[in-house]
């Protein structure tokens, strides 16, 4: 049975996020964990993750000019020390540099609190679907809505 972090759906100006820890989880010895005691966590929790992504999100110019939108799902590993590794996209390619922007966002995140198993940090896979919405982008731009920190 897979260990799943409770589904988190958060609405951002142009991003929605779902975060899952997926099995199997392996440590440096190759041990596969199908359950962890504590799932990985962004520093400060989910609200801080949303603020971080809002602050650092940039809709790619090529996608804006070409009218490209959609969801890019980024798969990554939080290692036993909380670092981000093995970042890739697992959704169909949309183009317009949307995949590059989604990967850039994830790679630029600070260290997370790692998943814990028996009191030790262990690697865990996560995925974040990032929604690029032209309607929301232009709506917020027209309203001059900017993230408040």
Here the CATH number for the domain that contains residue 14 is: 3.30.1150
Domain assignment of residue 23, yes or no: yes
Domain assignment of residue 148, yes or no: no
Residues 6+ apart with CB under 8 A from 25: 3, 32, 33, 34, 36, 115, 117, 122, 123, 124, 125
> What percentage of the chain exceeds 70 in pLDDT?
70
Cα–Cα distance measured from residue 31 to residue 12, given in angstroms and rounded to the nearest whole number: 37
Whole-prediction pTM value? 0.74
Number of domains forming the structure of the chain: 1
Query: What was the pLDDT predicted at 124?
Result: 86
Parent domain of 105 = 10-141
Domain assignment of residue 110, yes or no: yes
């Amino acid at each position: 049975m897979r260990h799943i972090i409770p589904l988190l759906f958060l609405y951002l100006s142009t991003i929605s996020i779902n975060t899952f820890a997926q099995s199997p989880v392996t440590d440096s010895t190759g041990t596969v964990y199908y359950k962890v005691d504590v799932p990985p966590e962004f520093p400060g929790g989910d609200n801080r993750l949303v603020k971080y992504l809002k602050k650092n999100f940039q809709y790619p110019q090529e996608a804006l000019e070409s009218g490209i939108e959609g969801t890019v799902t980024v798969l990554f590993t939080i290692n036993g020390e909380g670092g981000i590794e093995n970042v890739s996209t697992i959704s169909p390619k949309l183009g317009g540099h949307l995949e590059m922007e989604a990967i850039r966002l994830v790679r630029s995140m600070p260290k997370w609190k790692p998943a814990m198993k028996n009191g030790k940090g262990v690697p865990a896979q996560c995925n974040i679907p990032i929604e690029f919405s032209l309607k929301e982008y232009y709506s917020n731009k027209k309203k001059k809505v900017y993230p408040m920190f």
